[in-house]
């Protein structure tokens, strides 16, 4: 929940004029009230996502937005299950799964977020937490080609405390093994698993060097010029 038209124009100008790698897909998740505005000014080579949506196409759900509304604004992705939706607004695994199913059925790509809290990591239940969250998402996916899985350890979001490259790789590797055992070899090999949690221009190259880290879900650093450096982390 950041920005206004003036600041968004500055961010878009920085991206529109930047040298971006051809093989890196870039998607910007703007506040819903600015989706139309951003799509009309952002370079077409850059995708657009909403930060959330509801599980229904229409109805008495005041304040919510539907996948059809998102598409009507020119966006083709949505972020679902973000840690703030889970832990600030109390969204359950079940609700997130329903949202994933409806967004995919409506033709949106889904960036599905999972991750553990600090107390869960310290208790040694990281795998149990992220596997449970992933299971509910998997039960609601009908087309894995339109899904990106984002691992975002809650203890590393906006805290300045980043998972080490080794910690990120360990969880990503285990997630890929879970997908191989519970979904299919094809999905395990092809699904993009991205990392989110205080990614910066300083640490992005080390994180990107890990074999199972396929990209990033970028928070605060996306509002700074260093976002371009993060996009180019593997160049």
> Catalytic pick from 82, 102, 116, 172?
82
Assess whether 82 carries a catalytic annotation: yes
Chain mean position to CA 65 = 18
> Catalytic pick from 6, 152, 172, 202?
152
Nearest to 195 by CA among 134, 132, 115: 115
| DSSP result, the chain | ----HHHHHHHHHHHHTS---TTS--EEE--GGGHHHHHHHS-TTSEEEES---SSSSSS-TT---HHHHHHTT--EEEES-HHHHHTS---HHHHHHHHHHHHHTT-EEEEEE---HHHHHTT-HHHHHHHHHHHHHTT-S-GGGEEEEE--GGGSSSS-PPPHHHHHHHHHHHHHHHHHHT-HHHHHH-EEEE-SS--TTTHHHHHTSTT---B---GGGGSTTHHHHHTTT-
Distance CA 2, CA 218 (A): 14
| Active site residues per annotation | 82, 152
């Amino acid at each position: 929940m950041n920005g206004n038209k003036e600041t968004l124009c500055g961010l878009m100008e920085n991206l529109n004029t930047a040298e971006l790698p051809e093989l890196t897909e870039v998607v910007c998740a703007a506040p819903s009230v600015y989706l139309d505005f951003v799509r009309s000014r952002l370079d077409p080579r850059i995708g657009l996502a909403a930060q959330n949506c509801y599980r229904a196409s229409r109805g008495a759900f005041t304040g919510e937005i539907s996948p059809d509304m998102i598409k009507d604004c020119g966006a083709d992705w949505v972020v679902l299950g973000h840690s703030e939706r889970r832990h600030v607004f109390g969204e359950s695994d079940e609700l997130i799964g329903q949202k994933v199913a409806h967004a995919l059925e409506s033709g949106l790509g889904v960036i599905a977020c999972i991750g553990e809290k600090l107390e869960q990591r310290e208790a040694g239940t990281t795998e149990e937490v992220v596997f449970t969250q992933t299971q509910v998402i998997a039960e609601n996916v009908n087309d894995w080609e339109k899904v990106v899985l984002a691992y975002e350890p809650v203890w590393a979001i906006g805290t300045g405390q980043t998972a080490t490259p080794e910690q990120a790789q360990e969880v990503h590797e285990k997630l890929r093994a879970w997908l191989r055992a519970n979904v299919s070899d094809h999905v395990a090999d092809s699904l993009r698993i991205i990392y989110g949690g205080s990614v910066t221009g300083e640490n992005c190259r080390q994180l990107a060097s890990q074999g199972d880290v396929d990209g990033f879900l970028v928070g605060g650093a996306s509002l700074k010029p260093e976002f371009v450096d993060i996009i180019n982390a593997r160049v």
